[in-house]
C-alpha cells in the first residue's frame, strides 16, 4: 500500500525534473498515441502527475509509445516524439490509449494482442476519447463500465450492445480506465493520486492546476443549467423528450401534449430560438445521431437509419444528403477505415 502524504503541504519545488525515468518513480504509465490523437487529452493526462512529483517525492513517470516507434502527429498538427514501440512493451502497470479521429485506421492485430497481453498479466488498460473502440475490439472491456466521448456513444452502443456504457465522464475500476477525453484526464489522474496517496495530495495538485473538481451529479446539473438557462421551460422539455426518443420517434402533437403546449405555440417558440419548427429540429437531431453512428462505428447504413427512427431508406438518404452534403455511404466509408 502506498504511503499517504502529509496533510501539511510545502510549496511545490520548482526544480523537480518534469520527466522521471521509470526506474526513478513509484508508478509508470505507458501512453499509446494513435495518429490524430487529441493533444488536450494527452496534456490533461500527464500534467497532474508532473505536478504531483513537485511535492517532494518521485511518484510518477510516463513513456510515450506508438505502433511504429515513429513520432505521431496529433489532430492539431503537432508532431510528438515517442519513447518506443508498443510491441516492445514488457512489464506494464497501466497502458492508456489516446485517439480521436479515425481511431482504428492504423491499429493492427498485434496491437490488439498487446492490449490483451497487458490485461492478462494483471496490468490496467485504458482509453480516452474514441480509444474505448480499440479496447472493445480487442476484447478487454468485457464486464466493465465504459466511458467515452459523448459524440461516440451512439455508435459504440450500436456496435457493442452487450457492453455497459456509462454516462459519467470517466470510469476507474481495478482493471480498466476509460474516459471521454479532453479535460477529463485531469480528474481521472486526480482520482488515481487520491486512491494512492490520499485526498490531501489530490487537492494540492488540483489547486496548482487551478482546477475545480466536481462530482458527476454536480457537473451534469451545471451543464444542463448552462445549456438550457435561456430557453423556455416548454422548449427545454420538448428537446429532452426528442433526445430520449431518437430511435422511437414521437409525433409532434404527442410531444406538445407531454409538455403542455399547443403545437402553434411550441412552433412559434422553436422558430424564435432555433429558426426551425419542432419537426425540423427533431429531424436534425436524428440525422446528427445517424451521422455519429456512421462516423464512429462499422454499422451498415440500414442499421444507422433504423436506430434513428427512419423506416424508409430512400427518405433517410435524401434527408441526410440535404443536411450534410454527402450520401450516408460516403460517411460510412470513412467510418469503416
55 within 8 A of 14, measured Cβ to Cβ? no
β-partners of residue 146 are 165
246 within 8 A of 287, measured Cβ to Cβ? no
pLDDT tens, position by position, 303-324: 889 999 999 999 999 999 988 8
Q: Is the pLDDT of residue 282 over 90?
A: yes
Q: How confident is the model at residue 337 (pLDDT cuts 50, 70, 90)?
A: very low
Mean pLDDT comparison of 124-128, 239-243, 274-278, highest-scoring range = 124-128
Range in 65-79, 88-102, 221-235, 310-324 the model is least confident about: 221-235
Task: State the Cα–Cα distance between residues 219 and 202, nearest whole angstrom.
Answer: 19
Question: CB 163: neighbour CB atoms within 10 A?
Answer: 18
Q: Is the pLDDT of residue 336 over 70?
A: no
Q: Which fold does the domain 230-335 belong to in CATH?
A: Arc Repressor Mutant, subunit A (1.10.10)
Average pLDDT over residues 64-79: 94
* Strand residue runs (E) in the chain: 27-33, 60-66, 72-73, 79-80, 84-85, 94-99, 124-129, 145-146, 164-165, 170-172, 176-179
Task: State the Cα–Cα distance between residues 229 and 227, nearest whole angstrom.
Answer: 6
Question: What pLDDT was estimated at residue 256?
Answer: 94
94 within 8 A of 63, measured Cβ to Cβ? no
The torsion defined by the Cα of 171, 27, 134 and 321, in degrees rounded to 10, comes to 70
Instruction: Decide: residue 212, CB within 10 A, 0-12 exposed, 13-18 middle, 19+ buried.
Output: exposed
pLDDT tens, position by position, 140-176: 999 889 998 888 888 888 889 999 998 888 898 888 9
Could you give the percent of the chain with pLDDT greater than 70?
A: 88
Residue predicted with more confidence, 249 or 230: 249
Task: State the Cα–Cα distance between residues 280 and 11, nearest whole angstrom.
Answer: 56
pLDDT tens, position by position, 186-225: 999 998 998 888 888 888 888 888 887 765 544 454 444 4
Question: What pLDDT was estimated at residue 211?
Answer: 83
pLDDT tens, position by position, 8-49: 455 676 666 667 888 889 999 999 999 999 999 999 999 999
Which residue, 129, 126, 127, is CA-closest to 75?
129
β-partners of residue 164 are 145
Domain ranges for the chain, please list them: 22-216, 230-335
β-partners of residue 97 are 32, 127
C-alpha cell at 293: 453512428
Q: How confident is the model at residue 123 (pLDDT cuts 50, 70, 90)?
A: very high
Per DSSP, the three-state class of 71 is coil
CATH class held by domain 22-216: alpha beta
Amino acid at each position: 500500500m502506498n504511503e499517504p502524504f502529509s496533510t501539511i503541504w510545502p510549496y511545490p519545488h520548482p526544480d523537480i525534473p518534469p520527466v522521471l525515468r521509470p526506474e526513478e518513480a513509484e508508478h509508470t504509465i505507458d501512453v499509446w498515441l494513435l495518429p490524430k490523437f487529441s493533444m488536450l487529452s494527452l496534456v490533461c493526462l500527464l500534467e497532474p502527475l508532473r505536478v504531483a512529483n513537485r511535492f517532494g517525492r518521485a511518484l510518477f513517470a510516463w513513456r510515450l509509445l506508438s505502433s511504429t516507434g515513429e513520432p505521431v502527429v496529433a489532430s492539431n498538427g503537432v508532431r510528438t516524439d515517442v519513447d518506443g514501440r508498443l510491441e516492445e512493451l514488457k512489464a506494464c502497470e497501466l497502458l492508456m490509449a489516446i485517439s480521436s479521429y479515425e481511431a482504428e485506421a492504423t491499429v493492427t492485430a498485434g496491437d490488439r494482442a498487446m492490449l490483451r497481453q497487458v490485461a492478462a498479466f494483471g496490468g490496467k488498460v485504458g482509453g480516452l476519447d474514441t480509444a474505448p473502440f480499440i479496447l472493445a475490439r480487442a476484447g478487454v472491456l468485457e464486464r466493465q463500465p465504459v466511458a467515452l466521448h459523448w459524440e461516440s456513444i451512439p455508435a459504440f452502443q450500436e456496435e457493442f450492445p452487450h457492453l455497459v456504457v456509462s454516462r459519467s465522464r470517466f470510469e476507474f475500476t481495478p482493471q480498466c480506465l476509460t474516459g471521454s477525453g479532453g479535460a477529463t484526464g485531469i480528474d481521472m489522474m486526480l482520482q488515481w493520486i487520491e486512491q494512492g496517496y490520499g485526498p490531501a495530495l489530490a487537492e494540492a495538485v488540483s489547486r496548482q492546476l487551478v482546477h475545480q473538481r466536481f462530482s458527476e451529479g454536480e457537473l451534469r446539473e451545471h451543464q444542463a443549467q448552462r445549456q438550457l438557462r435561456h430557453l423556455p421551460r416548454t422548449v427545454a422539455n420538448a428537446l429532452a423528450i426528442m433526445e430520449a426518443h431518437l430511435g422511437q420517434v414521437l409525433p409532434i402533437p404527442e410531444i406538445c401534449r407531454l409538455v403542455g403546449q399547443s403545437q402553434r405555440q411550441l412552433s412559434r417558440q422553436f422558430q424564435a430560438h432555433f429558426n426551425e419548427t419542432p419537426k425540423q429540429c427533431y429531424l436534425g437531431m436524428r440525422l446528427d445521431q445517424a451521422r455519429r453512428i456512421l462516423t464512429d462505428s462499422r454499422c451498415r447504413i440500414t442499421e444507422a437509419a433504423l436506430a434513428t427512427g427512419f423506416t424508409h431508406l430512400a427518405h433517410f438518404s435524401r434527408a441526410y444528403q440535404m443536411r450534410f452534403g454527402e450520401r450516408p455511404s460516403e460517411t460510412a466509408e470513412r467510418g469503416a477505415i
